Structure formats: structure tokens, C-alpha cells
Chain A
Amino acid sequence: MLPAHPYATTVHTESRQATVERMLEVYRITIEANSIGDKETVAHGLALLKRTLDPQADLLLARQLSELYTIAETASRENNPEITAEILETLRGQWIARRRLDKIRK
């Protein structure tokens, strides 16, 4: 077996960081859209978040997140943007905290 390319590990780490950044960006766009009342983008963002959940990684968390996104979706549709904002901003904050923890552990 050929030794791994010296850049392979770095590329792998970078790609994981990039996916986390992308996820946070999805949250950011959705939160911003919610704050200006752009329901279409909110629905788009939440649908994307829901669609990209990976239940194989953690079934319980995937289910909890899915439920929260449904609540956020309904709230946005029923003109309760503050509920949508609370859910998305809390989750985004938790993901950022989680990313920091992972970095510290490394």
C-alpha cells in the first residue's frame, strides 16, 4: 500500500472544516432571511437543513433537529419569526460551541 499523500490528512481536515462552515453559512442565511421577513428563503434554508440530516450519524439528534426545523417552519409560516429566530440562533450558537470544543480537544 502506498503511503498516504502528505497533504491528504490536511485536505481531509480542511474539507470537514469546510462542511461545518457551509452548515453555519446555511444557518446564517436562513436567520438573516427570517429577520427581514423573507419567508421563501427561510423555507428553503430549513428544507435544506432537514434534507441534509444524516440519521445514520446520530438518529436521536437527527430526529430532534428535524422536529425543531418543523416547528421553525410552521412558526415562520404563521408569522411568528421570533420563534424561528430563537430556534435557529440557539442551534447555530450550539454548533459553533461544539466546533470550538472539537478544536480544543484536538
Chain B
Amino acid sequence: MTLEPLPPRLARVAELVPKGASVLDVGCADGLLLRHLRDARGVDGRGIELDPALVAEALAHGLSVVQGDADTELAQFPTAAVDYAILSEALQAMRAPDRVLTELLRIGRRAIVAFPNFGHWRVRLDLLLTGRMPVTPDLPASWYATPNIHLCTIRDFEALVAERGWRVEARRFTRQNREVRWHPNLWADHALYVLAPGP
């Protein structure tokens, strides 16, 4: 069976999930990541997705996906139900990102969180030079139309993690899918964390 290649950002998430693990993918769209994890790594996956058409597609791929809003739906999942709860490119669209992260760490033994870094220099420069809300390849919509209502920088995210006492097990920062080591909050356009509940 040939696997559909994953876009780089999803591929980086997939690499973090060990063979045979169980996952919950929050905002799983048509289930591309779940399918890949199932077919390549024997992962037992479930998903949550808001768009009924995407849920129907995921179903047709043999996946188990519940249509619903992560902000409310997560509360219904049992504690420690899966090894990994994944939130990829959706943190900034949550009404209450901190509560969603708390739920992810209750449902999953670990959480994998990936998000665009609003501290990236181009975002900063854009705001500085134009005085208008930045519109970037990652954040293409105008301020009034964007689903991204809670954007954060890497430093913001680290501060929240420290404040809540979560443990960072791994972090990866990239710019155009290349590793960034120095001053990631300035140079990275994307961040990926593996979190665990305890300190």
C-alpha cells in the first residue's frame, strides 16, 4: 500500500508518535494524519472535526471521527484515554486555548501541540512597518475574517506551560521547515511541543 506523503508539518508530528500508540487528533480535518499513522505505524486513532463534509471523508477512509467543537467536545472524553492527544495548527483557533491544553493533557498521557509562531520577525516587522494586523502565508486571512482568534508567540506559550506546571518533553522550532536553534521566537515560523502533565 502506498502512503500519501504528509506535508512537512504533519510529518514532524507523525515522527513523534511511536508505533502502536493510541492517539486523539483534535481538528483532524479529513484524517490525513490519522490515516498515515494507522497505515504506517499501526496507530489506533480517533479524531474530532468541526466540518461535517470532512468528517464524512474521514469516515470513508475507515476512521472514527466525532463531529464537534473541541472547545466543548473534549470534556466528554475519558481521562487517560489515549497515549497522545494531538492539536496541530488549531491552538490559535480555540476559544479557550488554555482549557483545551488542560483537556488534552487529561485525555492523553502526552499532548503534541503545533502552532504558527506569532513572534516571528516577519510578523513583527509587518506590524511595525504597516501598523496593520499581519497577513502572512501562515495567517492569510484579514483580522475580521480569521478563525485564528488566540495567536501566541513561542515565549507566550512557554510562559503558559511554566505557569500551569506542565512538563516540556520535546520542542522543535522550524522556519520554512528547517530547524531553528538560535532565538526561535524571532526566527522560527512554527513551533512543535510534546507536553506531559506533571513537572
Q: Do A and B come from one complex?
A: no
Chain A contact residues, CB within 8 Å of chain B: none
